[in-house]
């Protein structure tokens, strides 16, 4: 295996992890504004915290995938230009 490919794969993996973590943090921050006491019976219980975490994780995954797709599209567009 070419070492150049392994470096590129490592960089791509690091960028994906960074985008996923940044998206999860942004989703967690955005979910903080919700009035959980109107939605849930016990807004500070462990189940509510787990629900907020899972929603933030799902939102972070979506944000991270959008960021990765945007970067991939920008790279493909740059390579397509003469």
Query: What pLDDT is stored for residue 4 in this prediction?
Result: 59
Which is more confidently placed, 19 or 81? Answer: 19
Tokens of 14: 């690091």
Query: What pLDDT is stored for residue 55 in this prediction?
Result: 93
| pLDDT at position 22 over 80 | yes
Helix (H/G/I), strand (E/B), else coil: 57: helix
Helix (H/G/I), strand (E/B), else coil: 9: helix
The residue-averaged pLDDT of 38-61 equals 90
Instruction: Give yes or no for a contact between 27 and 54, defined as CB atoms under 8 angstroms apart.
Output: no
């Amino acid at each position: 295996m070419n070492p150049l490919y392994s470096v590129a794969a490592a960089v791509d993996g690091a960028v994906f992890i960074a985008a996923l973590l940044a998206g999860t943090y942004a989703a967690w921050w955005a979910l903080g504004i919700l009035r959980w006491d109107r939605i849930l019976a016990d807004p500070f219980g462990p189940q509510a915290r787990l629900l907020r975490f899972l929603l933030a994780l799902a939102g972070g995954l979506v944000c991270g995938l959008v960021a990765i797709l945007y970067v991939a599209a920008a790279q493909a567009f740059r390579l397509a230009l003469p």
